[in-house]
Structure 1
């Protein structure tokens, strides 16, 4: 409809709703699209061992590593160097054991481990990560933390006291015959007959160039005066720990995943949760 008015021969037509032709239209704000994360991380435990799932596309490596550390609930501290933090990660995997997951995430990683002896049926061997280091290319692994190399608690010293020099001499001769430890290319060969476990561990540690520390305060703990007879050929220190050492023995080690090399750090005797298995004797 139009309304018309004639003034001095001039006709003016006015359309409804057109009174303010130049009025500004109300401003509209368009919501910006939400940014979806470029990665997802899930860590679950099965029989005490962590399994990791990662789905990432050009994600900042530091974000993914930080979330893995958070979900591990500080059981395994994760350290990422400044150079490694800036890397972008694209990967997709589900339910990998922790070490395999670390290998997938970075070609430059180092893990410090502790493993308890597995000879006690009630307490099977477990290899647990203590610390994970993600490094940039050409970066060296940091020094082993002091808390791994030396426990702050008091240390026990154990030794034999002989009544006479002749008795001590006879014991040394018998030990040469009944306690033989050879070490070649990272493998041990042992011929041990009715020898104190501590004496055997001392020989093993000396051959490997590492320390042996007695950290338990329980003088009655079976590892302190346990006698063993072993006949073992060409096995690694980790295999000795897994199969032959009782649960109170701990092997600390460092694994360089890039070089695929594990290096023993030290042996200890620690509290073993009162496990009292039979002595491990070669049939």
Structure 2
């Protein structure tokens, strides 16, 4: 079953779905690229691991000042304890982090293994300034922008801090940035509204080879159906944070209202 949205489905931004979608989209793009760029090039997935904090809440347990315990016989040892251990007064929690394995897509020249193009699909950790993955991504981005490698940034997340640009671009929930090494510091930007279809992107290679078209909308639609997201998303609930503008919220309500009215009744 396809998504009811013509472009990016904001419900996929849920933390329960995003990492699965991220890696599936990277794999889909790799497959599509390898259909066109061989034998001179190949696309591969490059994994990287970061850590995502698990929300365990502000839970504390106070330990009473006075307790009753059963005396224990001293252990058979030549060392004699000379002091009573002071019990802790309170228990707290340390941040619980789970490993998060993500992928970027790299295009390399087959003969020389030269890195030609990097495709980054941004994740929430890449857009959260307080997270170590944000700083790591900014360093990698800076290194690529100072190299002879093309960079494509696909930002399909409404929340978080976007990669910096020197000139303002139209406001939109989603963006794609294509930075060709021979055109820097100029970059091409696709601001994408919720009602927009996702663009067919140009994937640059080494000159004089022409760009390879990447139909981002088809790739996202294939991932949606292959991963059965329609069975995992409850469209009767509002989309995940951040909050929508009034215009976008009204548009989604109308879109999903039409969807519900078109369903056959028992």
TM-score in terms of structure 2 length: 0.22
Greater per-residue strand proportion: 1
Larger radius of gyration: 1
By relative contact order (CA 8 Å, sep 6+), the higher-ranking structure is: 2
Structure showing the higher helix proportion among its residues: 2
Q: What TM-score results when the alignment is normalised by the length of structure 1?
A: 0.21
